[in-house]
Structure 1
């Protein structure tokens, strides 16, 4: 479970964006941000440069920058560690955020070449009372015809909309990691957790490079 959910949610950003049949609601700023990110990622994936092995790393760096721009790693980190976050020192928070970001990016890059024309339909949105948080609801259609509900929870931060959680088939990415991290913190220290996450990121990166 350590990587399963993150693999699917990050891969979901690679799929083709189409409106679900019969939908007519206007695009919110949050959804527009998500759509524009996916469009730019797809443009890179479809570019001849991406298929050029000599330019592949540079193109992947462009995709990584797009994901980094929409995924708020600091928010993800604070929410996944949960109640233990205040006990982390400022240095530990910084190191954990970087290690967790490396894990998510490594997982994403490992899965990126698996894009196979999957589609995503936007099925609805839920907004908080204050309007500062939005859940963009989608349905991913896989090549075998299976439909997987994926919802992106977004918040407005410093004038832009960012993703802080992904819900896949009713399971929260944040809660999934929180459960694992709490177990590790019960048995160990923040520094040990950071090293565990960093080690997992290195493992995934090495596998992708094979």
Structure 2
């Protein structure tokens, strides 16, 4: 759970505004951190387990600034090329919903975490960078939290999150690969959609 909380905290901080192309990604993360953390700290409904408000927060702050198609492709791995355009669309939508539900559920467990930023190695003209941070939790060791980000025409987008050295998208790859081998791409879509239904039902 602590890892998921760290991911959520980082994602919300990272994605709380549309990225302006003239600013480096690490500066933008720092700029919005305190504003977002203040909102979360003051929202007692989310802290008390209001999943609906947590989902709305994640959808408003995270979705516009993530490349979910690339995240899905990385999570599916080589099997991505076997999917039809329609299957890719359904996979991306289902995986996006899964991540939103997972993050929003973890967000309700937020307490007193803070973010510590580390120097970002970035050269002029770079279009793919890693932003390194730590989540500091009272009474626990800091959790390393890194963001893989790419620059697109409409700004910087996150395409992977690495928690304590473990890639979020790679963490899904073995499960997804096993499902494709057993039941094909459609089986993987059904598996993710069923998981989303379970998470939605548990929120009610």
Relative to the length of structure 1, the TM-score reads 0.78
Deviating runs (4+, > 6 A) in structure 1? Answer: none
Counting only pairs closer than 5 Å after superposition, residues 1-210 of structure 1 correspond to structure 2 as 8-13=6-11, 29-36=24-31, 38-46=33-41, 57=52, 60-127=55-122, 131-209=126-204
Counterpart-to-counterpart distance in 2, 1:129 and 1:45 = 34
Does the 8 Å contact 1:139/1:150 carry over to 2?
yes
Counterpart-to-counterpart distance in 2, 1:14 and 1:41 = 7
Q: Compute the displacement of 1:62 (Å).
A: 4.1
List runs of 5+ in structure 2 lacking aligned partners. Answer: 15-22
Q: Compute the displacement of 1:208 (Å).
A: 3.0
Relative to the length of structure 2, the TM-score reads 0.80
Counterpart-to-counterpart distance in 2, 1:150 and 1:186 = 32
How big is the alpha-carbon RMSD for the aligned residues of Structure 1 and Structure 2? 3.0
Q: Assess, with a 3 A threshold, how the Cα gap between structure 1 residues 4 and 206 changes in structure 2: closer, same or farther.
A: farther
Q: Assess, with a 3 A threshold, how the Cα gap between structure 1 residues 189 and 160 changes in structure 2: closer, same or farther.
A: same
Does the 8 Å contact 1:37/1:66 carry over to 2?
no
Out of 34-43 and 195-204, give the one that drifted further. 34-43
Counterpart-to-counterpart distance in 2, 1:38 and 1:95 = 33
Counterpart-to-counterpart distance in 1, 2:78 and 2:143 = 30
Task: Choose between structure 1 and 2: higher strand proportion.
Answer: 1
Q: Compute the displacement of 1:189 (Å).
A: 0.8
Structure 1 equivalent of residue 20 of structure 2: none
Q: Compute the displacement of 1:122 (Å).
A: 0.7
Q: Compute the displacement of 1:88 (Å).
A: 0.5
Counterpart-to-counterpart distance in 2, 1:190 and 1:4 = 31
Q: What secondary structure does 2:132 align onto?
A: strand
Q: What secondary structure does 2:111 align onto?
A: coil
